[in-house]
């Protein structure tokens, strides 16, 4: 892959999209910059797919604008060389082989069959390139979609749920691939509902809820601000420590005979008070909230399709 220019980015300004009386995206502004993997998160119906479609001109904004490298994507003379996008892994004629499907796409942008063969090998499709995509599993279909996105060796890559259906090796491959592209200076926008995988892959997170921007920050910043950050303490003086800490307003939850989770009191203060009162600590560990916990906290009031928290037992 060639080195991407440093000014390649996606920029949305006051982006709004309405369908009749339904507003899917409202006054959305953000930047996706080169050299980072930006995670794109939100509950179902948050407006992620609509936004990605507007980035590449498949939907037209009601108001506002979105540009790639300073201009609308639809004005690009070589679109596949500028942006590679995976929106729907099933967007392939089921009767075509994987190789022919990719050759048809490549020919529309003057891309050689040699490049088709390169992305087939890159995405692990070599053994099945001559088979019809209609017979492929979800995971193999994802690989075809990713191969199509990479055909033009693009400076900007947008992948919507790329690891769906992939086995653990495939998930790790996608993670390593997008990290490598970002390290090469490319702009990567990655949408996924798999929070653990996103926490391992993304540098920055954009969170939508009901079409509006909820958060735009680094993963570290989002985790640091999340509810659920606590301190794990293990000591044989747990009861005494609890008596000392209780007046400070923290919450102390005993999880074992000698272990507790403490929230609302800094780790340093716990250590100082334990030392001053002769309490020996066998463990004092900061426990950070997971990205999943942070995501739920951010989007709690922005979930459009909420499931029940309980099920009725059959009688």
Same domain (yes/no): 255, 202: no
- The pLDDT confidence band at residue 227, using thresholds 50, 70 and 90, is low
* Residue 27 within a domain: yes
H helices within 76-137, ranges in order? 79-82, 98-107, 113-122
Contact 86, 162 (CB under 8 A): yes
Asked if pLDDT for residue 214 goes beyond 70, the answer is: yes
pLDDT of residue 197: 86
- pLDDT tens-place string over residues 275-300: 999 999 999 988 877 787 777 777 77
- The pLDDT confidence band at residue 90, using thresholds 50, 70 and 90, is confident
Torsion angles phi and psi, residue 181, rounded to 5: -65, -40
Contact 301, 43 (CB under 8 A): no
Asked if pLDDT for residue 205 goes beyond 50, the answer is: yes
pLDDT of residue 300: 72
Same domain (yes/no): 152, 191: yes
Contact 287, 261 (CB under 8 A): yes
pLDDT of residue 6: 40
Same domain (yes/no): 154, 281: no
- The pLDDT confidence band at residue 5, using thresholds 50, 70 and 90, is very low
Closest by alpha carbon to 158, among 169, 148, 167, 170?
148
- The pLDDT confidence band at residue 192, using thresholds 50, 70 and 90, is confident
Same domain (yes/no): 269, 124: no
CB under 8 Å to 127, separation ≥6 — which residues?
A: none
Asked if pLDDT for residue 247 goes beyond 60, the answer is: yes
Would you say how long the chain is, in residues?
315
Same domain (yes/no): 179, 239: no
pLDDT of residue 314: 38
CATH number of the domain where residue 104 is located: 3.40.50.300
Same domain (yes/no): 49, 114: yes
- pLDDT tens-place string over residues 31-87: 999 999 999 998 888 899 999 999 999 999 999 999 998 899 988 888 999 999 999
* Residue 301 within a domain: no
Closest by alpha carbon to 158, among 207, 86, 219?
86
* Residue 305 within a domain: no
Asked if pLDDT for residue 1 goes beyond 50, the answer is: no
> What total number of domains does the chain contain?
2
pLDDT of residue 7: 56
Q: What average pLDDT score do residues 234-249 get?
A: 92
* Residue 3 within a domain: no
Torsion angles phi and psi, residue 278, rounded to 5: 65, 25
Q: Range of 29's domain?
A: 10-224
Domain boundary among the residues 196, 224, 252 is at 224
Contact 28, 59 (CB under 8 A): no
As a whole number of Å, the CA-based R_g of the chain is 24
Angle at 245 between CA 279 and CA 237, to 5 degrees: 30
Q: What average pLDDT score do residues 114-132 get?
A: 96
For residues 227 and 297, which has the higher predicted lDDT (pLDDT)? 297
- pLDDT tens-place string over residues 152-184: 999 999 999 999 889 999 999 999 999 999 999
Contact 62, 16 (CB under 8 A): yes
SS3 111: coil
Using a 10 angstrom Cβ sphere, with 0-12 exposed, 13-18 middle and 19 or more buried, the burial of residue 109 is middle
pLDDT of residue 12: 96
CA distance 110 to 85: 17
């Amino acid at each position: 892959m060639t080195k991407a220019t440093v000014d390649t980015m996606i920029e949305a300004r006051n982006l709004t999209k309405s369908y009749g009386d339904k507003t899917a995206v409202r006054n959305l502004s953000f930047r996706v910059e080169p050299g980072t993997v930006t995670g794109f998160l939100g509950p179902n119906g948050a407006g992620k797919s609509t936004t990605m479609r507007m980035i590449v001109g498949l939907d037209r904004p009601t108001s506002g604008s979105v540009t790639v490298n300073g201009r609308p994507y639809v004005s690009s003379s070589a679109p596949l060389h500028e942006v590679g996008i995976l929106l729907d892994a099933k967007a392939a004629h089921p009767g075509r082989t994987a190789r022919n499907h990719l050759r048809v796409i490549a020919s529309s942008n003057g891309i050689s069959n040699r490049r088709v063969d390169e992305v087939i090998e890159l995405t692990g499709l070599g053994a099945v390139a001559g088979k019809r995509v209609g017979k492929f599993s979800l995971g193999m279909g994802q690989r075809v979609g990713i191969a199509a996105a990479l055909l033009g060796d693009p400076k900007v890559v947008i992948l919507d749920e790329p690891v769906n259906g992939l086995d653990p090796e495939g998930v790790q491959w996608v993670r390593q691939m997008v990290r490598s592209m970002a390290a090469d200076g490319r702009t990567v926008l990655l949408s996924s509902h798999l929070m653990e995988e996103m926490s391992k892959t993304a540098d920055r997170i954009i969170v939508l809820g009901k079409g509006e921007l909820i958060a735009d920050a680094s993963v570290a910043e989002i985790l640091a601000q999340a509810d659920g950050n606590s301190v794990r303490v293990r000591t044989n003086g747990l009861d005494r420590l609890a008596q000392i800490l209780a007046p400070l307003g923290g919450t102390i939850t005993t999880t074992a005979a000698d272990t507790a989770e403490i929230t609302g009191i800094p780790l340093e203060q716990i250590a100082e008070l334990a030392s001053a009162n002769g309490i020996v600590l066998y463990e004092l560990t900061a426990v950070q909230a997971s990205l999943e916990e942070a995501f739920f906290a951010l989007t709690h009031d922005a979930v459009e399709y909420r499931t029940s928290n309980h099920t009725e037992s059959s009688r």
